[in-house]
Amino acid sequence: MAAGVATWLPFARAAAVGWLPLAQQPLPPAPGVKASRGDEVLVVNVSGRRFETWKNTLDRYPDTLLGSSEKEFFYDADSGEYFFDRDPDMFRHVLNFYRTGRLHCPRQECIQAFDEELAFYGLVPELVGDCCLEEYRDRKKENAERLAEDEEAEQAGDGPALPAGSSLRQRLWRAFENPHTSTAALVFYYVTGFFIAVSVIANVVETIPCRGPARRPPREQPCGDRFPLAFFCMDTACVLIFTGEYLLRLFAAPSRCRFLRSVMSLIDVVAILPYYIGLFVPKNEDVSGAFVTLRVFRVFRIFKFSRHSQGLRILGYTLKSCASELGFLLFSLTMAIIIFATVMFYAEKGTNKTNFTSIPAAFWYTIVTMTTLGYGDMVPSTIAGKIFGSICSLSGVLVIALPVPVIVSNFSRIYHQNQRADKRRAQQKVRLARIRLAKSGTTNAFLQYKQNGGLEDSSSGEEQALCVRNRSAFEQQHHHLLHCLEKTTCHEFTDELTFSEALGAVSLGGRTSRSTSVSSQAVGPGSLLSSCCPRRAKRRAIRLANSTASVSRGSMQELDTLAGLRRSPAPQSRSSLNAKPHDSLDLNCDSRDFVAAIISIPTPPANTPDESQPSSPGGGGGASSTLRNSSLGTPCLLPETVKISSL
Amino acid sequence: MGAVMGTFSSLQTKQRRPSKDIAWWYYQYQRDKIEDELEMTMVCHRPEGLEQLEAQTNFTKRELQVLYRGFKNECPSGVVNEETFKQIYAQFFPHGDASMYAHYLFHAFDITQTGSVKFEDFVTALSILLRGTVHEKLRWTFNLYDINKDGYINKEEMMDIVKAIYDMMGKYTYPVLKEDTPRQHVDVFFQKMDKNKDGIVTLDEFLESCQEDDNIMRSLQLFQNVM
């Protein structure tokens, strides 16, 4: 449970006095309090440095090493203190967490060492307080990246070994993605690069005017028209190579849909399409204009170089991520252009033989002036025009020069900020998940406690399961409180699964009123769950077990993100089979007989003889559960297999 | 030229330091304003001496010490407000919504209706609830139920309280909570408590009815050993 809640327990329990007059049944007796020693000072010796603290302080977080009974393993009876052979400087932060509820991250220490200490003392890294969380995560990420880079650099030397027997497809894809892995791939890489260069140069060269053959007026025509065959052959060769490469990539791609949608493949397609379209388009005058336009697209072949150049890719990504700033720049420029163009047009309207024939025509002047180009093809002649023209050029400097550095710094700031915002969103999700988990952990702690027969009379002392006895005093009292609430309202806490089943049972037209109908009704869901279909029961039980998160010690740590960090078994609920079937508790509630059927998978060892279905200990990792077999208060209809408990 | 200036200035800005543009200054100004407001509302309250509290309540010195240490840790300013009450209760009863009950509880603790509960109020109420006589406990409970503190409990007030208690159970209960369950509960309660059937319960009726009920008498002893 979260910080300091233990301190408020007396208050919460006292406030339960308010329920008493409303309770329609007698409330359960309070758990017996062990000899209350009062608060005492514990001495924790960490590698020679002694820390002293109240016992209550450590008890605040019962699911950590210092707050639970695990610290008894480190107790030194001779000196009467708890000895830990760990770093005392780090321990200071851990102890401060107990005192203040916030875990701070030391600035000078290695983040890896800090993590190890946290893992040892049973604290999850999510507990790092807000003030230090960002820095902690940044440093951790840096560390991880550095390690990853080192690994990569190591690996890149030898090249990752492909599993033997990989298909041709996989080898081909790998050759395409990492050209340095084999000589063939390298050769292919350079050949394609060469042909891209050749194609681009050919496109450029075929427009250069070459001196034609001796004609009466020596006419200059572009080389492309002079040597059409040569250029056509070169073009064909390049396109053939590009087509071949594209088809090979398509074949080798692990996910063809994704490959088809990727930018690089689109560029490839755009690079080779014009040629094929040109092949099929007849060479008549009408469409040759369009055909000529198509040739423009051949310049896109230059973008194929981005596969060969890391820098181009980074630039592309930069522009993409900076798009909104660029958009804003464009927008503000457009506004300024329109304003000034309008003004210049109306200022120059009177002059005859003026270049400012319309506002769009004035756009050109405005753009050229604002970007300080000043071609001089359009010049204002009136005085007003000149005044506004100078204002235009001065403001142009401002309008352009101001956003550009802002964009540049914005880009760098926004880029990092976006990363941080994503991190924060992910953290938020994790945090909400943690809170939900802690909540469900508490809920399930109580439900688990009920399952394990914690609600029995404490008179049957020895037979009471170990799990019930091993709970901390705080948990005992908290569960007693929840039990009191149940009795006050004549309703029980259940989990979602049983609730939806009960809902279904009710909607099936059953009303829980008389005992006979109750038992037949009870068997209804019960039999569905259990004996008639033992396998289904197991499956359902698996689902149940998986849905109830592991309780107590493991509750805070069963986050998905921390899978594998610390799978501490829940000591309390492990060997938690009831020795005796759970006897029915008498309820004085007005003519209500309810049945709670909670079924789960047994874990070894099975003490009870009437335990049926000793299925293999299947249950989910931390969430151990027991197969509930308890006698019915009402006549038992399926004696040999499952008995449903009636509470 | 703009591009040159841009790259030059970008080389200057470090990544960690926020760029000091207008937006940043505005944000700082806002933050300072908020901090000033916070300063004014930060109240530090110290309780009276330990001996006095010991005399006024039924706790021993050690118990008061433990209580105060916990209290001070959670509320360094020395007072608890309603929000904190609600949060505490939400942690104890995660299944459902404990805020309404916490609200009524807060107003029962806050005798002087100042909007915040000091340590003395806290300890006084705890003393009654844990160490008080049956009479005192029942009187405190009556005060809790009497939301408008007019000396009478009517059906609406009881409905509110019962509804708040049922809210704490949450959604997933067995059997399924029906709409009129609270109302039925209130009717049963009034049948028992309202002796002269006039629709309201006075303190005397309440005390009398509770003392006749064995269950309630027994349950009142339950929370004795909380410390």
The Cα of B5 is separated from the nearest Cα of chain A by a number of Å equal to 7
pLDDT(A338) > 90: yes
* Residue A82 β-bridge partners: A44, A75
Cβ contact, residue pair B66, A39, below 8 Å:
yes
Cβ contact, residue pair B174, A594, below 8 Å:
yes
Report the candidate in B93, B91, B122, B130 with the shortest Cα–Cα distance to residue B105. Answer: B122
Report the candidate in A25, A156, A149 with the shortest Cα–Cα distance to residue A591. Answer: A25
Of the partner residues A401, A478, A488, the one whose CB lies closest to the CB of residue B2: A401
The Cα of B40 is separated from the nearest Cα of chain A by a number of Å equal to 23
Lowest mean pLDDT among A12-21, A339-348, A508-517: A508-517
Instruction: Give percent above pLDDT 90 in chain A.
Output: 13
Residue B53 vs residues B57, B67, B130: alpha-carbon distances, Å: 6, 12, 15
- Phi and psi at residue A54, in whole multiples of 5°? -70, 150
pLDDT(A610) > 50: no
pLDDT(A539) > 70: no
- Phi and psi at residue B43, in whole multiples of 5°? -115, 135
Cβ contact, residue pair B137, A17, below 8 Å:
yes
Of the partner residues B15, B62, B141, the one whose CB lies closest to the CB of residue A20: B141
Task: Let me know: does A12 contact B76? Beta carbons within 8 Å.
Answer: no
More confident position, B46 or A645:
B46
Report the candidate in A15, A256, A232 with the shortest Cα–Cα distance to residue B104. Answer: A15
Eight-state DSSP code of residue A68: S
pLDDT at B48: 74
Whole-angstrom Cα distance, residue A25 to residue A130?
46
Domains of chain A: 41-155 (3.30.710.10), 168-212+220-308 (1.20.120.350), 318-432 (1.10.287.70)
Tell whether pTM > 0.80.
no
A positions 386-445 inside 8 Å of B (CB):
397, 400-401, 404-409, 412-413, 416, 438-440, 442-443
Q: Which residues of B touch A596 (CB under 8 A)?
A: 174
A10 at B interface, C-beta within 8 A? yes
Give residue A208's identity as a one-letter amino acid code.
I
The Cα of A451 is separated from the nearest Cα of chain B by a number of Å equal to 14
| pLDDT tens by residue, B86-140 | 888 888 888 888 899 889 988 888 888 888 888 888 888 888 888 888 888 888 8
Pairing of strands A220-222, A492-493: unpaired
Is B12 inside any structural domain?
no
Task: Let me know: does A41 contact A52? Beta carbons within 8 Å.
Answer: yes
Which residue among B64, B98, B132 closes a domain? Answer: B132
pLDDT(A106) > 50: yes
Domain extent, residue B191, equals 134-226
Instruction: Say how many CA atoms lie within 13 Å of A375 toward its Cβ.
Output: 7
More confident position, B165 or A618:
B165
Of the partner residues B125, B166, B175, the one whose CB lies closest to the CB of residue A512: B175
Instruction: Give percent above pLDDT 90 in chain B.
Output: 0
pLDDT at A542: 43
* Residue A288 β-bridge partners: none
Q: Residue B186's closest chain A neighbor by CA?
A: A22
Q: Would you state the structure tokens that stand for residue B12, as one six-digit string?
A: 């200057």
Per-residue pLDDT band for A407 (boundaries 50, 70, 90) equals low
Of the partner residues A20, A439, A502, the one whose CB lies closest to the CB of residue B219: A20
Cβ contact, residue pair B7, A408, below 8 Å:
yes
Is B154 inside any structural domain?
yes
Per-residue pLDDT band for A470 (boundaries 50, 70, 90) equals low
Report the candidate in B73, B74, B80 with the shortest Cα–Cα distance to residue B120. Answer: B80
What value does the mean pLDDT of chain A take?
70
Whole-angstrom Cα distance, residue A357 to residue A359?
7
Average pLDDT over residues A152-178: 67
Letter string b/e over residues A508-537, b meaning 16 or more CB atoms within 10 A of that residue's CB = eebebeeeeebbebbbbbbbbbbbeeeeeb
Task: Let me know: does A84 contact A76? Beta carbons within 8 Å.
Answer: no
Per-residue pLDDT band for A165 (boundaries 50, 70, 90) equals low
Task: Let me know: does A570 contact A68? Beta carbons within 8 Å.
Answer: no
Whole-angstrom Cα distance, residue A61 to residue A72?
15
- Please check whether residues B179 and B219 belong to one and the same domain: yes
Query: How buried is residue A472: exposed, middle or buried, by Cβ count under 10 Å (0-12/13-18/19+)?
Result: middle
Which residue among B100, B132, B164 closes a domain? Answer: B132
Cβ contact, residue pair B174, A23, below 8 Å:
no
Expressed in percent and rounded to 5, the helix, strand and coil fractions of chain A are 60, 5, 35
- Please check whether residues B139 and B222 belong to one and the same domain: yes
Lowest mean pLDDT among A64-78, A441-455, B67-81: A441-455
| pLDDT tens by residue, B192-205 | 888 888 888 888 88
| pLDDT tens by residue, A225-260 | 778 888 889 889 999 999 999 999 998 888 888 888
Which of B27, B74, B92, B212 is the best residue to mutate to test the A interface, defined by the most A CB atoms within 10 Å of its own CB? B92
Is B34 inside any structural domain?
no
| pLDDT tens by residue, A259-312 | 888 888 888 888 888 888 878 776 666 666 666 677 777 788 888 887 777 667
For chain A, what is the total number of helices (H) and then of strands (E)? 23, 7
pLDDT(B182) > 80: yes
Of the partner residues B5, B65, B185, the one whose CB lies closest to the CB of residue A405: B5
pLDDT at A612: 38
pLDDT at A586: 38
Q: Residue B62's closest chain A neighbor by CA?
A: A38
Indicate the SS3 state at residue A211.
Answer: strand
* Residue B174 β-bridge partners: A492
Is B19 inside any structural domain?
no
- Please check whether residues B57 and B122 belong to one and the same domain: yes
Task: Let me know: does A86 contact A117? Beta carbons within 8 Å.
Answer: yes
Instruction: Say how many CA atoms lie within 13 Å of A627 toward its Cβ.
Output: 31
Rg (CA), chain B: 26
Whole-angstrom Cα distance, residue A94 to residue A103?
7
Q: Residue B2's closest chain A neighbor by CA?
A: A401
pLDDT at A532: 44
Indicate the SS3 state at residue A50.
Answer: strand
Per-residue pLDDT band for A388 (boundaries 50, 70, 90) equals very high
The Cα of B9 is separated from the nearest Cα of chain A by a number of Å equal to 6
Which residue among B75, B98, B132 closes a domain? Answer: B132
- Please check whether residues B146 and B111 belong to one and the same domain: no
Q: Would you state the structure tokens that stand for residue A454, as one six-digit string?
A: 């914690």
Lowest mean pLDDT among A2-11, A63-72, B2-11: B2-11
- Phi and psi at residue A98, in whole multiples of 5°? -65, -35
- Please check whether residues B219 and B139 belong to one and the same domain: yes
Average pLDDT over residues B211-223: 80
Q: Residue B122's closest chain A neighbor by CA?
A: A11
Per-residue pLDDT band for A121 (boundaries 50, 70, 90) equals confident
Pairing of strands A49-54, A41-46: antiparallel
pLDDT(A537) > 70: no
- Please check whether residues B121 and B195 belong to one and the same domain: no
Q: Which residues of A touch B187 (CB under 8 A)?
A: none
Query: How buried is residue B14: exposed, middle or buried, by Cβ count under 10 Å (0-12/13-18/19+)?
Result: exposed
Per-residue pLDDT band for A633 (boundaries 50, 70, 90) equals very low
What value does the mean pLDDT of chain B take?
78
Which segment, A189-203, A399-413, A555-569, B31-45, is predicted with the most confidence on average?
A189-203
Of the partner residues B10, B125, B140, the one whose CB lies closest to the CB of residue A412: B10
CB pairs under 8 A between A and B: 197
Cβ contact, residue pair B173, A499, below 8 Å:
yes
Average pLDDT over residues A440-444: 71
- Please check whether residues B157 and B171 belong to one and the same domain: yes
Is B150 inside any structural domain?
yes
Q: Which residues of A touch B67 (CB under 8 A)?
A: 10
**Measured between alpha carbons, how far apart are the two ends of chain A, in Å?**
28
| pLDDT tens by residue, B65-80 | 888 877 887 777 788 8
Q: Residue A476's closest chain B neighbor by CA?
A: B226
The Cα of B196 is separated from the nearest Cα of chain A by a number of Å equal to 18
Task: Let me know: does A405 contact B10? Beta carbons within 8 Å.
Answer: yes
Q: Which residues of A touch B176 (CB under 8 A)?
A: 499, 502-503, 506
Report the candidate in A642, A647, A634 with the shortest Cα–Cα distance to residue A515. Answer: A634
Cβ contact, residue pair B137, A413, below 8 Å:
no
Whole-angstrom Cα distance, residue B12 to residue B28?
22
Q: Would you state the structure tokens that stand for residue B204, as one six-digit string?
A: 């005397």
Is B14 inside any structural domain?
no
The Cα of A396 is separated from the nearest Cα of chain B by a number of Å equal to 10
| DSSP secondary structure string for all residues of A414-474 | HHHHHHHHHHHHHHHHHHHHHHHHHHHHHHHHHHHHHHTTTTS-TTSTTTS-HHHHTS-HH
Residues 6+ apart with CB under 8 A from B131: B57, B58, B59, B224
Residue B183 vs residues A512, B160, B173, B202: alpha-carbon distances, Å: 19, 10, 17, 20
Lowest mean pLDDT among A81-95, A518-532, B71-85: A518-532
Cβ contact, residue pair B9, A36, below 8 Å:
no
Instruction: Give percent above pLDDT 70 in chain A.
Output: 63
A positions 488-527 inside 8 Å of B (CB):
488-489, 491-496, 498-499, 502-503, 506, 512
- Please check whether residues B89 and B140 belong to one and the same domain: no
Q: Which residues of B touch A493 (CB under 8 A)?
A: 95, 169-170, 172-174
Q: Would you state the structure tokens that stand for residue A551, as one six-digit string?
A: 């309780």
Is B1 inside any structural domain?
no
pLDDT(A598) > 60: no
A102 at B interface, C-beta within 8 A? no
Cβ contact, residue pair A8, B88, below 8 Å:
yes
pLDDT at A375: 94
| pLDDT tens by residue, A297-326 | 778 888 888 777 766 766 677 777 777 777
- Please check whether residues B106 and B85 belong to one and the same domain: yes
Is B151 inside any structural domain?
yes
Q: Residue A60's closest chain B neighbor by CA?
A: B70
- Please check whether residues B156 and B89 belong to one and the same domain: no
Task: Let me know: does A530 contact A642? Beta carbons within 8 Å.
Answer: yes
Whole-angstrom Cα distance, residue B221 to residue A204?
99
| pLDDT tens by residue, A544-585 | 444 443 333 333 333 333 333 333 333 333 333 333 333 333
Indicate the SS3 state at residue A600.
Answer: coil
Q: Which residues of B touch A513 (CB under 8 A)?
A: none
Cβ contact, residue pair B174, A494, below 8 Å:
yes
More confident position, A589 or A34:
A34
Cβ contact, residue pair B216, A9, below 8 Å:
no
A22 at B interface, C-beta within 8 A? yes
Cβ contact, residue pair A30, B126, below 8 Å:
no
Number of Cβ within 10 Å of residue A49's Cβ equals: 12
Question: Looking at the 3D structure of chain B, how many domains does it have?
Answer: 2
Q: Give the CATH number for residue B125.
A: 1.10.238.10
Q: Would you state the structure tokens that stand for residue A278, as one six-digit string?
A: 């040109």
Average pLDDT over residues A57-61: 85
What are the residue ranges of helices labelled H in A490-629? 496-507, 515-529, 534-547, 571-574
Of the partner residues B71, B173, B218, the one whose CB lies closest to the CB of residue A492: B173
- Please check whether residues B113 and B138 belong to one and the same domain: no
The Cα of B144 is separated from the nearest Cα of chain A by a number of Å equal to 7
Lowest mean pLDDT among A5-9, A175-179, A475-479, B86-90: A5-9
Give residue A508's identity as a one-letter amino acid code.
L
Indicate the SS3 state at residue A42.
Answer: strand
